[in-house]
Amino acid sequence: MAKRCLIVTYYFPPLGGGGVQRMAKLSKYLARAGWQVTVITADETNNHLEKDTSLLAEIAEDVNILYLPTRLPASRVMPSKRLISGERQVSYFKRWLSAFFYVPDIRKGWIKPAGQAVLQELERNVYDCVLVSVPPFSLAILAKQLQDQLSVPVILDMRDPWTINPYKIHPTIFHRLFDKKLERDIISNLQYGISITESLLSYYRETVPHFKPENWLCIPNGYDEEDFSHLTVQVDTRNGNTFDIGFLGTFYSHINLPHDLFAGMALLNSSRKSGTKHVHFHHIGKANIDLKKLARKFGVEKQVVLHGYLPHLEALARLSEMDAFCIIADTRNPKSRYTGGSKFYEYLRLRKPILALLPRGSDAAETIINTDAGVVVESSEHDKIARTLKSWMENPPAFSFKGIEQFSRENQARTFIRFFEDIARAEKKG
């Protein structure tokens, strides 16, 4: 008899962006492994998220997807700002206001309909496990509720850290303390969980009473090998006077600004000899800041190329044209060590040098070092940023990218399956 997994995730194709891919790719490879998969997800009618139907096309037809209509409560009051490019920009103030009124997040209203949908689905079919993926972190509340109600194992999948997430806004100390207490209470009482980083598990071991590390597993994000089989060899039509460094993802207004990279580029310009290459920075994705205005402060506005949001395969094709990539997280913020983004696994697969403005010792920095994929630099080390770029332009580095196969989505799906099966055996013995 085929094994069955019920996945609860707020973000799922046809939505685009990095947040949907972990569960979308898992659904794809679970189905290929013979599992029957049902996904309960949101159909948010008023979100600012981009669509990417190509991700939905990858998922097998026998994966059952249940979309639950939902609407954010604050959208009518504070609509997103539309940029000249036509993209939606969510201001810091809007996110601050949302965080002020909704703890842990504005999507907590989805808990009830999602919970009802899970119970109804379990009345119709028998499942081996229920996997609840966060963020939004309010779904961790749902995971705890379901665990208390169901006999089937409930597993929490944490795609991001919760209260130690540098991107999460806590308007006041009271919001932070309440959110931390909520996280601690839920994590201490959950039986099973998965984290994308070892550092988050270490944090829970140190701070959460009754945390059960033996029942948790680290499965990082990764890349799908099949995404790269679509890439064709690009004909280089550039004039040869540029060194192109790419960034894929979202720039937020309070944590991962590229000003340190721009400062390094400005230093490089000041020492640049006539006729040598210019660094061009390419941003693929959305930004909640005016990148051109920021670049203008450093005199590098003409070296910044904005591609906007692109569907996943188009984004990878554009990335494949770059000479190098960068990851940016302000190392002055101690919480930055807990995050590094999910896109850099695709950087690894493209096997081009990575300039990582990351805290040393963070999971992402350690991965880059262990795979020999690039250079880790503190954000404030503008001279080192400039020297690294200059060195790469003059002598392209030969990094080895060793062992990156462990991060393929297909291999990670096998790890998920082994964990599910281990839990099933443990439940039978119990």
Residue 47: name the closest of 100, 96, 98 by CA.
98
DSSP track, 315-372: HHHHHTT-SEEEEE--TTSGGGGG---STHHHHHHHT--EEEE--TTSHHHHHHHHTT
Residues 162, 264 within the same domain: no
Residues 167, 292 within the same domain: no
pLDDT reported for residue 79: 47
Whole domain around residue 121: which residue ranges? 4-222+408-429
Residues 196, 242 within the same domain: no
Residues 115, 216 within the same domain: yes
Indicate the residue type of 286: K
How many domains, the chain?
2
CATH of the domain at 290: 3.40.50.2000
Q: Is 190 left (phi over 0), alpha (psi -120 to 50) or beta?
A: beta
Residues 185, 272 within the same domain: no
Q: Is 239 exposed, middle or buried (0-12, 13-18, 19+ CB in 10 A)?
A: exposed
Residues 182, 230 within the same domain: no
Cis peptide before 13 (omega within 30 of 0): no
What DSSP character marks residue 191? S
Strand arrangement of the beta sheet that strand 278-284 belongs to: 304-308, 278-284, 242-248, 324-328, 354-357, 374-377
Per-residue pLDDT of the chain (430 residues; tens, 9 = 90+): 679 999 999 999 999 988 899 999 999 999 999 999 999 999 986 667 789 998 999 999 999 999 999 888 854 444 444 443 444 455 678 888 999 999 999 999 999 999 999 999 999 999 999 999 999 999 999 999 999 999 999 999 999 999 999 889 999 999 999 999 999 999 999 999 999 999 999 999 999 999 999 999 999 999 999 999 878 655 454 557 899 999 999 998 767 889 999 999 999 999 877 657 889 999 999 998 899 999 999 999 999 999 999 999 999 999 999 999 999 988 888 888 887 677 889 999 999 999 999 998 899 999 999 999 999 999 889 999 999 999 999 999 999 999 999 999 999 999 999 999 999 999 888 6
pTM of the model: 0.93
Q: What is the CA radius of gyration of the chain?
A: 22
Here the tokens at position 250 are 């979202």
pLDDT reported for residue 288: 87
pLDDT reported for residue 428: 83
Here the tokens at position 354 are 């990575």
pLDDT reported for residue 85: 40
How many secondary structure helices (H) and strands (E) does the chain include? 15, 15
Cis peptide before 136 (omega within 30 of 0): yes
Do 88 and 308 form a contact (C-beta atoms < 8 A)?
no
Residues 215, 236 within the same domain: no
Residues 169, 238 within the same domain: no
Output the CA torsion 370→374→376→380 (10° steps). Answer: -170
User: Three-state DSSP class for 374?
Assistant: strand
Residues 193, 233 within the same domain: no
Indicate the residue type of 275: G
Residues 250, 370 within the same domain: yes
pLDDT reported for residue 167: 87
pLDDT reported for residue 163: 96
Residues 95, 231 within the same domain: no
Indicate the residue type of 374: G
Residues 301, 235 within the same domain: yes
